[in-house]
Amino acid sequence: MKPFEWIALIGAFAWLPHVFAFLKDFFSKTEIRLITEKTVELGFTTLGAILNLRVAFAVKNKDIVISGIKLCLKHESGEEKVFSWQGIVQNMLQMKNPEGGLIPFEKELTVLAIKLAPKEIEERFIRFQDQAYHTNKEVYEMKTAKKLIYMQESGDTDYDAFLKSEEMKDLYSFIKQSFNWKSGNYSVIFEIESPDSFILKDNEYKFELTSIDVEHIEKNKGLIERSYEYLLKPRKEDEVRQDLVWAWRNPALTKAI
């Protein structure tokens, strides 16, 4: 073998550890598989469009920390929006009542991160909300907050007057005009964030909203003013308030083919 061929061969051997390390990392990369319940809960409140879903995570190879989850929703018309997780409920245990039924005990978690490990199925009830809605709503909330602070500092905290102020009317109008659920087919793509690399599987789904579904959820627009009234106005001792009952729909959720 000629000298330059020996040099080339030695150089090739020098790369082998890096190649083996790359292959080992690739084939041992964490795999996350999503398992969802068969329906998705959709609604609309003062928090805007809401999507609630129970999700289970199955992991292979290595532990991983999830630092965020987003849902990319695309309507058949082409309109897209992004929902991010805002709250998580974890099932802790179940107890039987005297009638033999099961009473679930759940824990509300602050959304910071979820640690997933192989050989364990982690199930969570996750509340997703429209990111753009909250960003735009802050502008109106700042104006209403300044109005309320001004009234408090002037010693004239009349909540009835505040709730009828132009600032609150603008907020009501913004919330109602933000209703954008439409009848038709929606595709749902899960996006998971993590400081570690991973492979994500079974992350594409779909559901359909009927015109009846949309009309049912849209009734919640009529509860917006009363929701703020309940939130801000102190209740009198002898006052009985009717509970706010928000309307929800639960269309079937299926895997996208």
Q: Which two tokens stand for residue 80?
A: 């897209």
Q: Which residues contact 85 (CB under 8 A, 6 or more apart)?
A: 68, 69, 70, 111, 126, 127, 128
For 208, the enclosing helix (H) or strand (E) is strand 204-209
Q: Say how far apart CA 129 and CA 79 lie, in whole Å.
A: 16
Contact (Cβ atoms closer than 8 angstroms) between residue 71 and residue 128: yes
Which tokens in the block code for residue 256? 């996208």
Most confident of 102-106, 124-128, 236-240: 124-128
Residue 86 in this model has a pLDDT that exceeds 60: yes
What pLDDT digit, counting tens, does each position of 194-217 carry? 999 999 999 999 999 999 999 999
Domain ranges across the chain:
30-130+180-235+242-255
Which run of H or of E encompasses 9? helix 3-27
pLDDT tens per residue, range 228-245: 998 887 776 666 667 789
Pairing of strands 184-193, 204-209: antiparallel
CA 164 to chain centre: 32
Q: Give the rounded percent of residues in the chain with a pLDDT score beyond 90.
A: 58
User: What is the reported pLDDT for 19?
Assistant: 40
Tell me if 187 sits within 8 A of 79, measured CB to CB.
no
Which tokens belong to 40? 């998705």
Q: What are the tokens at 145? A: 């907050």
Three-class SS state of 15: helix
98: tokens are 């005297």
Q: Which two tokens stand for residue 126?
A: 């996750």
- Indicate the pTM of the whole model: 0.80
Q: Cα–Cα distance between 31 and 196 in angstroms, integer?
A: 11
Mean pLDDT over 174-190 rounds to 97
- 35: pLDDT strictly greater than 50: yes
Q: Is the pLDDT of residue 118 over 60?
A: yes
Look at 250 and 122; give whichever has higher pLDDT. Answer: 250
